[in-house]
């Protein structure tokens, strides 16, 4: 719009007194047409902005040239979206296996309950990861903590349920995974996010 103002076109109403020649105060059409053509060639972006503003009166032409408040999300955020989908799908699969197939191999109800808990935590935090990639696309820390937490917390419980003696060294990993999940929630709570409409 600055270009249009510099050229003196379409930003201020014409001086009708200048053309007061008993022709209903209508300015010569050819003057406006030539001036519009000149401005359109010199300032094509400003001309397009003017047409867009006229087509949509609610559009503020001055805001068309402003950069968005939030920059585009990092390139690795689509990867977190894919991870969230895969973790969610695997959580449903592992939960179904724990409710049906695992009972045929393990008789201890506590171990089966632990497996179910791990699947539930994985499923819930997969959904949180997906929501976080949309509501807070710049918050890489929260996404990383959630992925690490699901991997360590649920993954260690799965292995400990299948073979407690063989994977007993993973015992300390489970609480570390829980801390990562808590950290992911905290990072989402206090990190940068897209403002919700009011």
Tens of pLDDT along 129-174? 999 988 888 899 999 999 999 999 999 999 999 999 999 999 999 9
Instruction: Determine the pLDDT at residue 157.
Output: 97
How far, in Å, CA of 153 to CA of 114, rounded?
Answer: 11
pLDDT score recorded for residue 64? 47
What pLDDT is stored for residue 171 in this prediction? 94
Helical residues (DSSP H) of 8-76, grouped into ranges: 29-42, 44-55
Which residues in the chain come in under a pLDDT of 70?
1-76, 195-198
Q: What is the structure's pLDDT at 76?
A: 58
Residue 154's closest CA among 86, 91, 92, 84?
91
pTM for this model (two decimals): 0.62
What's the pLDDT score for residue 149? 98
The pLDDT of residue 154 is: 97
pLDDT score, position 49: 65
Minimal CA–CA distance to 125: which of 100, 147, 141?
Answer: 147
Q: Which letter, b or e, does each residue of 46-77 get, where b requires 16 or more Cβ atoms within 10 Å of its Cβ? A: bbebbeebeeeeeeeeeeeeeeeeeeebeeeb
What's the CA gap between 45 and 33, in Å, rounded? Answer: 18
Closest CA to 153 of 133, 128, 170, 134: 170
């Amino acid at each position: 719009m600055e270009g249009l103002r510099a050229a003196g076109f379409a930003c201020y109403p014409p001086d009708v007194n200048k053309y007061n020649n008993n022709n209903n105060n209508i300015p010569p059409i050819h003057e406006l047409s030539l001036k519009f053509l000149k401005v359109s060639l010199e300032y094509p972006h400003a001309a397009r902005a003017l047409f867009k503003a006229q087509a949509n009166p609610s559009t503020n032409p001055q805001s068309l040239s402003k950069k968005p408040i939030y920059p585009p999300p990092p390139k690795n955020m689509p990867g977190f979206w894919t991870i969230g989908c895969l973790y969610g799908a695997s959580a449903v699969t592992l939960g179904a296996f724990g409710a049906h197939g695992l009972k045929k191999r393990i008789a201890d109800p506590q171990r089966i309950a632990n497996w179910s808990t791990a699947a539930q935590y994985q499923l819930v935090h997969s959904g949180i990861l997906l929501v976080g990639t949309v509501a807070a696309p710049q918050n890489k820390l929260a996404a990383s903590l959630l992925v690490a937490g699901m991997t360590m917390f649920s993954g260690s419980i799965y292995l400990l349920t299948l073979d407690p003696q063989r994977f007993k060294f993973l015992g300390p990993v489970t609480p570390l995974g829980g801390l990562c999940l808590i950290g992911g929630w905290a990072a989402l709570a206090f990190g940068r996010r897209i403002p919700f409409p009011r």
